Amino acid sequence: MPVAIVGIIFGSFLLLFKMLLEHKRQNMALPTVQEGASMKYSELEQRILATVNEAIEPLVARIDELESAQLLASSERLLLGDSDHTKEASRSSQADH
């Protein structure tokens, strides 16, 4: 019985030692990360926002163009509609005279 207990303890130590060696070997196989290569979350967020803004900039410019054109067209319709009313009013006043 004491031999079984010693065997279990010795086997546990061997298993732990093997796991530690395997862990070290895996860490050595991984490429080392330089200290300055990491970035803060806020820096990453700023880079993402800058990239997104750069990507949508042409779309925003196109939307502005379309809105300006639509505003101009609606202004022209309003002006032309008002001038038609003034022309009709002047015609009817001339017809009355």
Residue with tokens 């990360």: 33
Q: What is the pLDDT of residues 65-74, one digit of tens each?
A: 999 999 999 9
Most confident of 21-25, 31-35, 77-81: 21-25
Does residue 81 or residue 10 have the better pLDDT?
A: 10
Domain locations in the chain?
Answer: 1-30, 40-97
Provide the pLDDT confidence category of residue 28 given band limits of 50, 70 and 90: confident
What is the SS3 assignment for the chain?
A: CHHHHHHHHHHHHHHHHHHHHHHHHHHHHCCCCCHHHCCCHHHHHHHHHHHHHHHHHHHHHHHHHHHHHHHHHHHHHHHHHHHHHHHHHHHHHHHHC
State the pLDDT at residue 80.
85
| pLDDT averaged over every residue in the chain | 82
d(CA 16, CA 3): 20
- Backbone phi and psi for residue 39, each to the nearest 5 degrees, phi listed first: -135, 160
Q: What percent of the chain is helix, strand and coil (3-state, nearest 5)?
A: 90, 0, 10
d(CA 28, CA 37): 18
Residue 86 scores a pLDDT above 70? no
